[in-house]
Homo-oligomer: A and B are copies of this chain.
């Protein structure tokens, strides 16, 4: 029995592999997209969790779309129109996978910004889509490139992370949001709007969802890994029922339904009187951590390294002078700080901007300070080597 061709060409996730290495004692990890483990709202979830053994109905098989009271909450909270539906997924990663399985046949064309979320590259790669990249600017995708793409090619869908993009942290401007939505309507392209970091804004005002300007041309993917906890594996897809129905058929095959006890606990958390306060505190903690790492980097980075300020999310995208980003990440790990090299966020064979993705939400302020010292040490060493090589070459 042989693995399929689609699977054989797929690389295992470098990030999930580095997560193992990053757990070694003494390593400070800025690698994973991990929320702060010491800030999980377990106190707010406690009463609900403790009550589970008294609710046997939650432990029986359930319906595929999700736990009905939770679905009702989503319908109201997100003010879904009557022809839209919510579908609870085993993490938003599953939502993405279901979309690819339901709608993408081999060689279908999809569009993503480059760089892009590794999990999406993997999912669409496994579906054997032809992935077309558009470049990303400070306020979102390059609209001219996007329109050319939509106009000249038969595009199935556009996958985007408009709020605090993974890996770059970019947040699309209001103008770009409206224009992307208009292009999706004009060229009948489905927008898959992935918003796992949307609630993690710690500066400025929230912008409307891109899909709010093209609700019937979009599916929205939400994650509860960042605002609740990742371990419970719950996410959400919403959109037009004509698209949710095929997703439900695939989910029947994929896992029948997601954990019902966890869905009940999530509902109790989201409706807890103190949940907004939890989110507020979480944003404050992340802002402090961001400010710490940003300040440390600004003070200590050598010339030629750069990052744009972010207003939320979990990541800083640190661009570097020409160098081997993989070798640099490996050297950093040897120096007890884990980071992710930019190459993993691009399709194979694409021109890569040498950069590192730095997560600032999982380590605390003391650790972040040490991590920056360790990282800067390695970067300086690498750049000195580059200078030596240049000297030899000249």
Contact = CB atoms under 8 A, between A and B. Distances in A.
Contacts of A232: 59, 259, 261
Contacts of A156: 1
Interface stretch (A7-15, A135-143, A323-331, A335-343): A7-15
Interface string A56-81: 11111111100000000000000000
| Chain multiplicity (copies) | 2
A229 interface: yes
B255 A59 contact: no
Contacts of A190: 1
A232 B234 CA distance: 13
B122 A253 contact: yes
Size category of the A interface is 35 or more
B61 A250 contact: no
Given A50-B50, A60-B229, A61-B231, A126 B38 contact: no
Interface stretch (A90-98, A310-318, A363-371, A380-388): A90-98
A252 B91 CA distance: 11
A190 B2 CA distance: 10
Interface in A23-43: 32, 34-35, 37-38, 40, 42-43
A246 B257 CA distance: 23
Contacts of A255: 89-91, 93-94, 97, 233, 255
A226 to B, nearest CB: 11
Interface of A: 1-5, 7, 10, 12-13, 16, 19-20, 32, 34-35, 37-38, 40, 42-43, 45-46, 49-50, 52-54, 56-64, 89-91, 93-94, 97, 101-105, 119, 122-123, 126, 156-157, 190, 225, 229-233, 243, 246, 248-250, 252-262
Closest 9 A/B residue pairs (Cβ): A59-B229, A59-B231, A231-B260, A90-B255, A46-B53, A3-B246, A1-B190, A61-B230, A94-B255
Given A1-B190, A61-B225, 8 more contacts: A16-B64, A19-B63, A43-B53, A59-B232, A90-B254, A97-B254, A119-B256, A259-B259
